A = this chain, B = another copy of it.
Amino acid sequence: MAVKAQVLYDFTAEPGNNELSVQEGEMLTVMNQAVGGGWVEAQNSKGQTGLVPEDYIQQINNSEASGTQQPAQAYQGSIDYYDDDGEWDEESDDSKSPSGYSWSQSDGGGGAAQQGAAAHHPRKISLNKFPGLSKTPNPEVYLLKNYMCAENDRLPIYMGEVGPVWLYPQTQLDCVVAHPKKGTKMYGLKSYIEYQIAPNTTHKSVNHRYKHFDWLYERLLEKFGCAIPIPSLPDKQVTGRFEDEFIKMRMERLQGWMSRMCRHPVVSNSEVFQLFLTYKDEKDWKEGKRKAEKDERVGVMVFSTMDPEMRELDPTEVEKKCETFSHFSRSMDDGVKDLLAVGHLHWKRCAGPLQKEYQRIGKAFQSLSSVFNTSAYQGEATLTDALTATGKTYEEIAEIVAGQPKKDLHFLLETNNEYKGLLGCFPDLIGVHRAAIEKVKEADRLVAMNKIGPQDKQTMQKNLSTMSYALQAEMNHFHSNRIYDYNRVMQLYLQEQVQFYETIAGKLKHALSQYTTL
């Protein structure tokens, strides 16, 4: 009956969750392998029992253990994601796909260090960003037709001060993601987190689990992915799912993702997004989901709903604009990645060697003070007290230095991570446009071959012009948000940096005041 197992990775149990904390190398007795959902029930050497992720242990072919013996290799190398919410995929309409842009903890700046065991855990990351589309979506199906949009489906593009722009709503939609609440399944054996989302348009909040966000992401990507960058959701996370720190981090990132979607005039106004934010009841939600999944104006066909009320652009002009955006987004991608790399390094330095160094400086002053205290010389006290205080101040500075990145660098890195995600979508956007430009270039040949008529070529050019206006509107949206975001985050960063240096200066001033004035 009892099968022995060795723990491969540290795992910290959530209190009240029937889980068992285990440490790497520890030996366990597996009590029940049929718990399901990637969990086994196990007992440690102290006799404590609880649930442990089955990927975290390796069963041992132990001749002393009676009963069924599991071959050890059956568990080796099988470490993998288990279902995100730790539950069975009982809802068959929940299609899942790994996120394309890996918004991993380490990208988020130092988070990896906080999530010890997670760092040991290998991940499967798929790079396929368009589950419903081929590598570069073929714009042909869109280009050859003439479209007349129903008014409620129509996405107008206007000429604004900065060039083509989307139609912006009078009041910008926003929402608050808050109050993460633990729900349970499996008769209380397993739990998940439900977030409350409160839009500023209604007075009613809705509840969603991560898997619902994921469903929304899939729908938005499918529908708008050719015209609008839809950044991935924050990365899935196995270990410490219920640790406060992790919940806070995921919520913060879901908030960031939702705010960005709310800020987008096209996305925020879409039926599927509105459904997510304002569904009335379970029935409403289920019906809305089914409808959204049947939407046919997805992929390149999204352009068929777009209606720029401007002169038609020449294909040469289109190509030029496309190249300008391509160049900008690649350069910004490099710049953002550089800043992220520099920032991560600085974070590591602050929380690692620099913290240790200030601690050592603090300790060196304190040990000198201790030695001085043994001098048996009178009139020693003022100096040794001041030296001790100085040492303690440097120890405090060590903690301030180590904690500072969370206060400022964190937001700078988060913002740049968001932009890395957005910029990662641009090659696909640009790719669709380039493919369309090529198609229109081929049009003359196709006309000569009688494959299409001269009218068709004009239609293609008109549609290409629409695509270009959409890209311009999107770039202008991107630029205006970028200026706002970087302005905001740089101010936040600098404000915190100023406070950081002023705090340290203040502490050192206080330490200084304790010496005898000469």
Contacts and interface: CB of A to CB of B under 8 A. Distances in A.
Interface stretch (A2-10, A13-21, A96-104, A500-508): A500-508
A338 B354 contact: no
Contacts of A479: 375, 377, 380
A374 B327 contact: yes
A379 interface: yes
A491 B508 contact: no
A90 B156 CA distance: 98
Interface string A348-373: 01000110010011001101101110
A377 B387 CA distance: 56
Which of A380, A387, A498: most chain B Cβ within 10 A?
A498
Copies in the complex: 2
A128 to B, nearest CB: 28
Contacts of A512: 491, 494-495, 498
Contacts of A342: 357, 360-361, 364
Interface stretch (A56-64, A131-139, A482-490): A482-490
Contacts of A390: 490, 494
Contact of A364 (B332, B339, B509): B339
A203 to B, nearest CB: 27
A378 interface: yes
A378 B476 CA distance: 10
Contact of A386 (B365, B490, B504, B509): B490
Given A328-B371, A371-B328, A501 B498 contact: no
Contacts of A387: 486, 490
A418 to B, nearest CB: 14
**Majority SS at the chain A contact face:** helix
A435 interface: no
A515 B502 contact: no
A331 interface: yes
A476 B376 CA distance: 10
Contacts of A497: 508
Contacts of A251: none
B357 A483 contact: no
Contacts of A515: 487, 490-491, 494
Nearest to A362: B342
Contact of A332 (B335, B361, B371): B371
A367 B383 contact: no
Given A354-B349, A487-B518, A505 B494 contact: no
Interface residues of A, number: 67
A361 B343 CA distance: 7
A335 B475 CA distance: 62
B371 A483 contact: no
Nearest to A380: B483
A488 B360 contact: no
Interface string A137-166: 000000000000000000000000110000
A511 interface: yes
B504 A508 contact: no
Contact of A335 (B327, B364, B491): B364
Interface of A: 161-162, 324, 327-328, 331-332, 334-336, 338-339, 342-343, 345-346, 349, 353-354, 357, 360-361, 364-365, 367-368, 370-372, 374-380, 382-383, 386-387, 390, 475-476, 479-480, 482-483, 486-488, 490-491, 494-495, 497-498, 501-502, 504-505, 508-509, 511-512, 515-516, 518
7 contacts: A162-B378, A383-B483, A386-B487, A387-B486, A387-B490, A491-B518, A502-B502
In order of increasing CB-CB distance, the 10 nearest A-B pairs are A501-B505, A494-B512, A377-B479, A339-B364, A335-B368, A331-B371, A335-B371, A342-B364, A501-B501, A502-B505
Given A328-B375, A377-B479, 8 more contacts: A334-B367, A335-B368, A343-B361, A383-B483, A383-B487, A491-B518, A494-B512, A498-B508
